[in-house]
């Protein structure tokens, strides 16, 4: 569970120094300073990450696990060193870390290789109503193709998981529970460690969508106890197209390959092949070595700032944002308890469509997300077509939260609400 730390008295960040690491924050939009409140969609990138990617291409670019020349050895070493670094960031065994493009690809791997191939017809998968489409559609496809059942954990009125019938949902024939650590819409941080204990007590595996948690708080696979964990590098100051799946190595051993081709094989004959060791069995073809190097650099950067400090800073910003939104008369969706609230806050302004809200805010240089946030079932549960969403990260300031309040006042003025 998230813990509240008062950023005014503890773990404060040197925001001037941090913001200097992110060149894009010097931009102006429409004659106004850029106020970037869309880090839940993708984070901005510090110079240190861009330099790591550039340095790889300038000095060590070569294919990995293939050559015997100096560059090939350097590239392979940097790739595998990056694997160990990224695994360390989530307190995990590097043997279970598969480099992929993003959380979506990672969840598709689990759904396609584990659920579809190893589960039996009529086995049940349990999801929740707050899931991103990336943690819904892959399971729908697996269920359709393998004859599996789907069931869903509902929500309370304040945007928490309704666990009142968890015992029933985890009973046979349930084999796997897949859920988000932190909702990208509501900001709700779920108590994964406690839920995992209950699932494992019934022999149910747990797959975690950690796209919104790994960038913002300390995450330990050992403490959470989950069996699969997926996250994206681009949301944690890493390059676009970087991400990973971590899984218990013994599960990866059982799972068939998701893609076939070079690198993922041990021996190829004309009519059959045998597979490489894990995690390489799931990394067919030439990997994006530069993105892996950049993701490792992002881990270094975030650990250098301090994940506890980042989390505390964000909580202070969210507390401020909730006050500003309340003062503006906006409707806010999700819990108010900061102990279970991450850095994303969804809201609507009267009867103004979120796309219109986002457009007016953009004229003032304020970047927020507007739409269904890849959570259409959750939007129907909230009985709205869409919401606006402001999300914060380590480089945001309280001044920017005040600008959001001024922007919402402008939305009200324009639409006379």
Q: What is the CATH number of the domain that holds 133?
A: 3.40.640.10
Domain assignment present for residue 162? The answer is yes
pLDDT given for residue 5 in this prediction: 39
pLDDT given for residue 12 in this prediction: 81
pLDDT given for residue 68 in this prediction: 87
pLDDT given for residue 6 in this prediction: 42
**Total number of domains in the chain:** 2
pLDDT given for residue 383 in this prediction: 97
Residue 26: Cβ within 10 Å count: 10
In whole angstroms, what is the distance from residue 246 CA to residue 261 CA? Answer: 21
Long-range contacts of 109-113 (CB under 8 A, 24+ apart): 109/245, 109/258, 109/282, 110/138, 110/178, 110/207, 110/228, 110/230, 110/245, 110/247, 111/138, 111/139, 111/141, 111/142, 112/138, 112/141, 112/142, 112/258, 113/255, 113/256, 113/257, 113/258, 113/282
Residues 264 and 337 in one domain: no
Residues 198 and 269 in one domain: yes
pLDDT given for residue 316 in this prediction: 98
Residues 205 and 117 in one domain: yes
Residues 186 and 317 in one domain: no
Residues 288 and 358 in one domain: no
pLDDT given for residue 4 in this prediction: 39
Answer with the one of 270, 303, 336 that is the final residue of a domain. 303
Domain assignment present for residue 3? The answer is no
Residues 396 and 311 in one domain: yes
Q: How many separate helices (H) and strands (E) can be counted in the chain?
A: 15, 17
Residues 224 and 341 in one domain: no
pLDDT given for residue 28 in this prediction: 97
Domain assignment present for residue 268? The answer is yes
Domain assignment present for residue 10? The answer is no
Q: Determine whether 207 is an active site residue.
A: no
Domain assignment present for residue 9? The answer is no
Residues 119 and 24 in one domain: no
| Residue 320, H or E segment | helix 307-328
Residue 364: Cβ within 10 Å count: 18
Residues 179 and 327 in one domain: no
Residues 74 and 139 in one domain: yes
pTM, entire model? 0.95
Residues 211 and 310 in one domain: no
- Active-site choice (207, 237, 299, 374): 374
Burial label, 55 (beta-carbon count in 10 A; 0-12, 13-18, 19+): middle
Domain assignment present for residue 7? The answer is no
Domain assignment present for residue 138? The answer is yes
Domain assignment present for residue 2? The answer is no
Q: For the domain that residue 371 is a member of, what is the CATH number?
A: 3.90.1150.10
Answer with the one of 268, 284, 303 that is the final residue of a domain. 303
Range of the domain at 187: 50-303
Answer with the one of 303, 325, 355 that is the final residue of a domain. 303
Residues 312 and 295 in one domain: no
Query: What is the mean pLDDT of each successive set of 10 residues along the chain, which is 417 residues long?
Result: 39 91 97 98 98 98 91 97 98 98 98 97 98 98 98 97 98 98 98 98 98 98 98 98 98 97 95 96 97 98 98 98 98 97 98 97 98 98 98 98 98 97
């Amino acid at each position: 569970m998230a813990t509240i730390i008062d950023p005014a008295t503890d773990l404060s960040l040197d925001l001037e120094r941090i913001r200097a690491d992110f060149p894009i924050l010097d931009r102006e939009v429409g004659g106004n300073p850029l106020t970037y409140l869309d880090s839940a969609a993708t984070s901005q990138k510090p110079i240190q990450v861009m330099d790591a990617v550039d340095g790889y291409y300038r000095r060590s670019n070569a294919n990995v696990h293939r050559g015997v020349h100096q560059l090939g050895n350097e590239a392979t070493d940097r790739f595998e060193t990056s694997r160990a670094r990224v695994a360390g960031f989530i307190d995990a065994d590097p043997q279970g870390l598969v480099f992929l493009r993003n959380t979506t690809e990672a969840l598709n791997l689990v759904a396609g290789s584990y659920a579809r191939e190893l589960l039996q017809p009529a086995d049940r998968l349990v999801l929740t109503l707050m899931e991103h489409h990336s943690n819904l559609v892959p399971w729908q496809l697996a269920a359709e193709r393998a004859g599996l059942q789907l069931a869903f954990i509902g929500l309370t009125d304040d945007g928490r998981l309704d666990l009142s019938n968890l015992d029933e949902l985890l009973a046979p024939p349930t084999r796997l529970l897949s859920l988000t650590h932190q909702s990208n819409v509501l900001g709700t941080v779920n108590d994964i460690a406690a839920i995992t204990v209950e699932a494992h007590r019934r022999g149910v595996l747990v797959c975690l969508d950690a796209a919104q948690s790994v960038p913002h708080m300390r995450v330990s696979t050992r403490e959470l106890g989950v069996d699969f964990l997926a996250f994206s590098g681009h949301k944690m100051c890493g390059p676009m197209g970087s991400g990973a799946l971590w899984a218990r190595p013994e599960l990866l051993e059982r799972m068939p390959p998701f893609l076939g081709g070079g690198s993922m094989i041990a021996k190829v004959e004309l009519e059959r092949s045998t597979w490489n060791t894990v995690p390489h069995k799931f990394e067919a073809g030439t990997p994006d070595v530069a993105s892996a190097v950049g993701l490792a650099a992002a881990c270094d950067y975030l650990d250098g700032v301090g994940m506890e400090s980042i989390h505390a800073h964000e909580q202070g910003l969210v507390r401020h944002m909730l006050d500003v939104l309340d003062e503006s008369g906006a409707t806010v969706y999700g819990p108010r308890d900061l102990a279970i609230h991450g850095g994303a806050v969804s809201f609507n302004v009267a009867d103004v469509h979120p796309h219109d809200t986002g457009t007016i805010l953009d004229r003032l240089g304020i970047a927020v997300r507007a739409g269904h946030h890849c959570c259409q079932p959750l939007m129907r549960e909230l009985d709205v077509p869409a919401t606006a969403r402001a999300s914060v990260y380590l480089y945001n300031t309280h001044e920017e939260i005040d600008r959001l309040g001024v922007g919402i006042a402008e939305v009200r003025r324009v639409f006379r609400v």
